[in-house]
């Protein structure tokens, strides 16, 4: 039900595919947006709507991927047709599309967080899963994410009922530097600094852990619900509790903040790093793309 790191993995895949000479587009539902229907988030030149209009994850993807168009819509097929009507794209990535059965996919990658695994094995609201564990068999490959090491990833993998012979991979989110609201490197804070942190994620505790692992001294932390729309009261509370400390959040939260934030804020950039198995998954993806391009 969230927290596996889908958006960073979409960004990683898009950059890799572009490096392979593929023309990439991204489709998303745009969860949490106030608009409806098909909306352009980016025509390749960066976000052209706010997070409230396009959704925080699509706006973050658009900001992170210059040259890649991003379109949202409840119907990913309708969004895809709109994108293809204006841009020559040959690979469409769906952010969070495993359950979107109305659209045929060529490759399904299932992401499972290493530390949580399948939880108690129950679907929501009794557990953390959207589908029963047996539905893992519908995936073409599985990526165990946020792994401290490959051994931990392999341990989680053994708990997932997945047909033998299909690709596995283990990845982690590698922390980088602090970026500003424009997505460029910021001097708001650096490793070793004392900071005040806040986030609105499906699981907030791992963000604090990531900050501390990156060398930041987290002196205070405020958690909010996933996709939280920050109001004036929230901002005043953050400013009050942060005091003179620089505030640090996630890139997904940063795009949801209004322009008139009453404190200095930056976001910790994280990027996907594969510990093991990327070669098998990337080879499978390229083979499927070749199959799909044949007349």
- The pLDDT tens digits for 61-103 are 999 999 999 999 999 999 999 999 999 999 999 988 888 888 8
Contact 76, 100 (CB under 8 A): yes
Cα–Cα–Cα angle for 56, 143, 268, rounded to 5 degrees: 40
Instruction: Give the SS3 label for residue 111.
Output: strand
pLDDT at 292: 74
pLDDT at 79: 96
Residues in the chain: 295
Please count the other Cβ atoms lying within 10 Å of the Cβ belonging to residue 174: 14
How far is Cα 114 from Cα 253, in angstroms, rounded to an integer?
Answer: 23
All structural domains of the chain with their residue ranges: 1-105, 106-167+277-295, 175-270
The better pLDDT of the pair 176, 49 is held by 49
pLDDT at 294: 60
- Torsions phi, psi of 26, nearest 5? -120, 135
Predicted TM-score (pTM) of this structure? 0.92
């Amino acid at each position: 039900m969230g927290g596996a790191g889908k958006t960073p993995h979409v960004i990683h895949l898009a950059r890799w595919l572009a490096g392979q000479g593929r023309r990439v587009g991204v489709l998303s539902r745009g969860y949490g947006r106030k608009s409806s229907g098909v909306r352009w988030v980016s025509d390749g030149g960066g976000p052209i709507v706010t997070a409230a209009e396009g959704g925080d994850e699509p706006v973050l993807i658009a900001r992170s991927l210059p040259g890649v168009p991003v379109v949202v819509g409840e119907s990913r097929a309708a969004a895809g047709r709109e994108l293809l009507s204006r841009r020559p794209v040959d690979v469409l990535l769906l952010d969070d599309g495993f359950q979107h059965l109305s659209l045929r996919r060529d490759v399904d990658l299932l992401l499972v967080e290493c530390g949580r695994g399948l939880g108690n094995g129950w679907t929501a609201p009794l557990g953390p899963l959207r589908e029963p564990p047996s539905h893992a068999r519908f995936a073409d490959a599985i990526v165990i994410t946020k792994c401290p090491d490959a051994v931990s990833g392999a341990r989680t993998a053994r708990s997932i009922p997945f047909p033998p012979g299909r690709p596995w991979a283990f990845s982690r989110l590698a922390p980088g530097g602090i970026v500003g609201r424009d997505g460029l490197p910021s001097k708001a804070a650096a490793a070793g600094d004392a900071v005040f942190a806040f986030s609105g994620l499906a699981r907030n505790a791992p963000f604090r852990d990531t900050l501390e692992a990156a060398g930041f001294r987290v002196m205070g932390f405020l958690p909010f619900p996933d996709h939280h729309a920050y109001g004036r009261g929230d901002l005043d509370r953050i400013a009050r509790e942060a005091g003179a400390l620089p505030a640090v959040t996630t890139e997904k939260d940063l795009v949801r903040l209004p322009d008139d934030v009453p404190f200095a804020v930056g976001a910790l950039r994280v990027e996907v790093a594969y510990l093991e198995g990327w070669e098998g998954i990337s080879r499978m993806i390229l083979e499927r793309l070749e199959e799909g391009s044949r007349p």
